[in-house]
């Protein structure tokens, strides 16, 4: 049953979610007894100095007896983040040396007809050409 069982095990049901340099794989697999469980794999692409690349993968296994508690905890964490920070993405990508101070933008006063100073809006787009 060895190699054939392993191949069938991976083809039950799968979804892929791409998110920048990360890819998430959601796979339904079968135990030897024929019951199902879920694996979630995060795969992240890293580029070496010579231009070659490699992937680092992290995997979690989730069994049916833990589905409800896991789902409840995940929903609770998602709701907390949305409640505290909203759904707007503050920064989709950041450098590895990212600090909170970089979020602050310098505001320049603008003179208006009634001589009141108002801060200028600073709009910018952070583009990383590695994603193109």
Domains with residue ranges and CATH for the chain: 1-88 (3.10.450.700)
Q: CB-based contacts of 105: which residues, under 8 Å, 6+ apart?
A: 122, 124
Contact, 67 vs 59, CB < 8 A?
no
Q: CB-based contacts of 91: which residues, under 8 Å, 6+ apart?
A: 98, 103, 126
Higher pLDDT, 117 or 33: 33
Give residue 58's pLDDT.
95
Name the H helices within the chain. 2-10, 67-85
Query: Mind giving me the DSSP string for 27-92?
Result: EEEE-TTS-EEEEEEEEEEEE-TTS-EEEEEEEEEEEGGGHHHHHHHHHHHHHHHHHHH-SS-S-S
Mean predicted lDDT score pLDDT of the chain = 76
On the question of pLDDT at 101 being above 80, the answer is no
Q: What is the pTM of this model?
A: 0.58
């Amino acid at each position: 049953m060895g190699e054939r069982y392993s191949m069938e095990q991976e083809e039950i049901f799968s979804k892929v979610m791409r998110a920048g340099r990360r890819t998430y794989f959601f796979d339904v697999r079968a135990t030897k007894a024929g019951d199902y469980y879920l694996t979630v794999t995060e795969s992240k692409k890293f580029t070496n100095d010579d231009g070659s690349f490699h992937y680092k993968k992290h995997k979690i296994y989730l069994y049916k007896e833990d589905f409800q508690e896991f789902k409840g905890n995940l929903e609770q964490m998602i709701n907390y983040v949305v409640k505290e920070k909203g759904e707007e993405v503050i920064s989709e990508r950041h450098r590895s040396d990212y600090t909170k101070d970089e979020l602050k933008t310098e505001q320049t006063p603008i003179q208006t007809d009634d001589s009141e100073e108002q801060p200028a809006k600073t709009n910018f787009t952070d583009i990383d050409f590695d994603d193109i």
